[in-house]
Structure 1
Amino acid sequence: MPTALGEKIQKLRKEKGLTLEKLADLTGSSKSYIWELENKNPPRPSAEKVARIAHQLGVEIEYLIDEEEKITEADSIDAKFYREYRRMTPETRKKIRAMAKLIGDEE
């Protein structure tokens, strides 16, 4: 029986057009490990591997492991973007803010 973790991984993987094998390659996992995460109830998945999977799927690990669904996929994507944004140079952040203002002005 799949878990919330497995259902989220499978949904995001398919949305990104990734096969089990491709996601396994990108995360340093085996195809069977990804399949087990998606389809079984593993007692303790590796936090390191789940973090790698989250990174490749463009979400935060908290979203994947949130069984109560308190964190939405959109909030997770935004949080990941914000963390990346905070690591950008001030000049890059300035350009992104200018682009966001242009897009907002078009609406």
Structure 2
Amino acid sequence: MPSPLGDKMRALRKEKKLSLEQLAELTDSSKSYIWELENKDVPRPSADKIGRIAAALEVTPEFLLDQRDDLTPDEEIVDEAFFRRYRKLEPDVKKKIRKIMDAFDDE
């Protein structure tokens, strides 16, 4: 019986139309490891692995680890995942994103 973590991973992976293999590649994992996380009763992934999976699925690690059965992240979770990703970008990429956002303000 899968855990809430596994259920969330599977739902988000399918929503993003990712195969087990694709998610494994994005997270530097094996396909079998991702399958185990999705299908085993008590998965025990490392914090690093949860962080990589959350980033690939565009949610926060906290959302994945939350024991509630909520399979769809709310807007706050999606925003937090975006900002975490944004913080890791190179300065020139951040500058381009800010220019795009400024263009929306001009409308």
- TM-score bracket, normalised by the shorter chain, equals 0.7 to 0.9
Alignment of 1:1-107 (within 5 A): 1-68=1-68, 73=73, 74-85=75-86, 91-92=95-96, 94-101=98-105
Query: Quick one: structure 1 residues 84 and 41, their matched pair in 2 at CA, closer, same or farther if it must change by over 3 Å?
Result: same
Higher RCO structure, 1 or 2 (CA under 8 Å, sep 6+): 2
Provide the rounded CA distance (Å) in 2 between the counterparts of 1:91 and 1:26. Answer: 25
RMSD: 2.5
Larger Rg: 1
Q: CA deviation at 1:19?
A: 0.4
Tell me how far 1:96 sits from its aligned partner: 4.9
TM-score w.r.t. the length of structure 1 is 0.75
Do 1:36 and 1:42's aligned partners in 2 also have CA atoms closer than 8 Å?
no
Identity %: 50
Q: How many residues align?
A: 102
TM-score (norm 2): 0.75
Residue segments in structure 2 that go unaligned for 5+ positions in a row: none
Name structure 1 gaps, 5 residues minimum. none
In structure 2, what is the Cα distance between the partners aligned to 1:6 and 1:56? 15
